[in-house]
């Protein structure tokens, strides 16, 4: 008998597949894999897709998987989840804690993948009701440059045919379970990695006049580079320049010959981003001349700005309110964190939202990338339903 799919059917099916989605999340959480090493995770996902009779292609852009449900040739929309974990030792104490020492799903990618599996299960049950094709993208390497999204795009994941739109979600421990947060326009910043080597002539700290002190030069450089944000940036353009690594391997009485710095530059304006790189290089050059040392900057260009398409995100908000209730849909402010989903947003209209994962009683509120990060697993049902509902609705419209 043909099912007339609607919101109630999506909610019912999302509850129906919840236990399987939960098991998927637990398995992936127990066996986390680092960026571009997700071989076992990919194999596990392929086994589930095969069991469900869902068409898929493995090995896309590395360990990526692309599955398809519905009618090829008419409208196509895409749903994306990332699969990789982080080099963090887990401290949640959960019965499904990581069995891979020093590796943990501390950013919720296990939940993202489980929700996309959930959406695949739901949509496959109503595939005759889909007025087009849903393309499910299981992506490797979100946490590491150059980003798995760029590799999958290069492999043609957004071609044959080009999707009308693409959707993605990310766990958010600052929102309660059962809710979601949206932001139209520039939502997440570009992210570039800075590696700077300062080389001088080291020696005895009691005789600095005979040396070319790279520690002093590196210290002055960090202060000078703050001018990029405080004096060179248009105050209306959010920008961040931060250093988290200063390696000077000397001693109380030893000035080393080199210092290594590492940091990040982030902004919401692509033109200013490129201009800022030139400013950073110029300040490095002038500081080197001032302190008679060699300063060599390496700027690794990372993810671009994540742009949520205005009309599409307005539509997502309205559909989410219809599914979850208006009180469960929250407007968020832009964030200086970065996401390689941004690459997709520069190719097709995209919308990326945050999925509430904090328990109502305040548990599961540790931030992402924390060794005690975990989620209220009720979020898996919400995430499954939301992706399924948006896919069904977008194809119908």
pLDDT in tens, 175-234: 999 999 999 999 999 999 999 999 999 999 999 999 999 999 999 999 999 999 999 999
What is the percentage of the chain residues whose pLDDT exceeds 90?
A: 95
| pLDDT over threshold 80, residue 73 | no
- Name the catalytic one among 33, 63, 84, 381: 84
Q: What average pLDDT does the segment 315-338 reach?
A: 97
Q: Tell me how far apart the alpha carbons of residues 101 and 110 are, in angstroms, rounded to a whole number.
A: 17
Give the pair of three-digit tokens for residue 117. 């599996």
Question: DSSP letter string over 18-71?
Answer: HHHHHHHHHHHHHS---TT--HHHHHHHHHHHHHTT-EEEEEETTTEEEEEEE-
- 84 is a catalytic site residue: yes
| pLDDT over threshold 80, residue 2 | no
**Average per-residue pLDDT for the chain:** 96
pLDDT in tens, 147-166: 999 999 999 999 989 999 99
pLDDT in tens, 367-396: 999 999 999 999 999 999 999 999 999 999
- Name the catalytic one among 82, 110, 142, 340: 142
**pLDDT of res. 3:** 53
Q: What average pLDDT does the segment 50-65 reach?
A: 96
**pLDDT of res. 367:** 95
Residues 7-188+304-396: name the CATH superfamily. Zn peptidases (3.40.630.10)
CATH number of 192-300: 3.30.70.360
| pLDDT over threshold 50, residue 1 | no
CA angle 321, 390, 31 (to 5 degrees): 105
Tell me the pTM: 0.92
Q: What average pLDDT does the segment 101-122 reach?
A: 98
| pLDDT over threshold 80, residue 5 | no
Could you tell me which residues come within 8 angstroms of residue 168 by beta carbon, excluding any fewer than 6 positions away? 79, 80, 81, 112, 341, 344, 350, 351, 352, 353
pLDDT in tens, 6-41: 899 999 999 999 999 999 999 999 999 999 999 999
Torsion angles phi and psi, residue 321, rounded to 5:
-60, -40
What pLDDT band is residue 95 in, cutting at 50, 70 and 90? very high
What pLDDT band is residue 71 in, cutting at 50, 70 and 90? confident
The residue behind tokens 């710095």 is: 261
- 159 is a catalytic site residue: no
The residue behind tokens 């200086």 is: 336
Q: What average pLDDT does the segment 259-281 reach?
A: 97
Q: Tell me how far apart the alpha carbons of residues 55 and 266 are, in angstroms, rounded to a whole number.
A: 39
* Structural domain spans, the chain: 7-188+304-396, 192-300
Q: What average pLDDT does the segment 292-296 reach?
A: 98
């Amino acid at each position: 008998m043909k099912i007339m799919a609607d919101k109630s059917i999506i909610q019912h099916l999302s509850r129906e597949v919840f236990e399987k989605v939960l098991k998927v999340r637990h398995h992936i959480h127990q066996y986390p894999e680092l960026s571009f090493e997700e071989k076992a995770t990919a194999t596990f996902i392929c086994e589930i897709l095969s069991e469900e009779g869902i068409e898929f292609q493995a090995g896309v852009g590395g360990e990526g998987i692309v599955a398809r449900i519905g009618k090829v040739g008419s409208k196509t929309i895409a749903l994306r989840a990332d699969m990789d974990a982080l080099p963090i030792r887990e401290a949640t104490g959960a019965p499904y804690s990581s069995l891979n020492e020093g590796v943990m799903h501390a950013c919720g990618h296990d939940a993202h993948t489980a929700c996309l599996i959930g959406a695949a299960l739901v949509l496959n049950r109503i595939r005759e009701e889909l007025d087009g094709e849903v393309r499910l993208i299981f992506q490797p390497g979100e946490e590491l440059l150059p980003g798995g999204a760029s590799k999958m795009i290069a492999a043609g994941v957004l071609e044959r045919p080009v999707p009308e739109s693409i959707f993605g979600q990310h766990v958010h421990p600052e929102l309660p379970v059962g809710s979601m947060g949206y932001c139209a326009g520039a939502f997440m910043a570009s992210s570039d990695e800075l590696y700077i080597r300062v080389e001088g002539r080291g020696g005895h700290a009691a005789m600095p006049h005979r040396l070319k002190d790279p520690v002093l030069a590196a210290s002055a450089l960090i202060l000078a580079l703050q001018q990029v944000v405080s004096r060179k940036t248009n105050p209306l353009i959010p920008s961040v320049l931060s250093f988290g690594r200063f390696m000077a391997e000397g001693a109380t009485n030893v000035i080393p010959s080199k210092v290594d710095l590492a940091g990040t530059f982030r902004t919401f304006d692509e033109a200013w981003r490129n201009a800022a790189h030139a400013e950073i290089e110029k300040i490095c050059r002038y500081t080197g001349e001032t302190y008679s040392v060699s300063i060599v900057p390496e700027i690794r260009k990372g993810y671009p700005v994540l742009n949520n398409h205005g009309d599409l995100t307005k539509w997502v908000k309205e559909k989410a309110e219809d599914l979850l209730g208006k009180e469960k849909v929250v407007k968020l402010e832009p964030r200086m964190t970065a996401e390689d989903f941004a690459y997709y947003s520069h190719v097709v209209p995209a919308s990326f939202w945050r999925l509430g994962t904090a328990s109502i009683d305040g548990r599961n509120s540790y931030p992402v990338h924390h060794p005690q990060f975990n989620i209220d697993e009720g979020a898996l049902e919400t995430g499954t339903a939301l992706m399924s509902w948006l896919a069904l609705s977008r194809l119908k419209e």
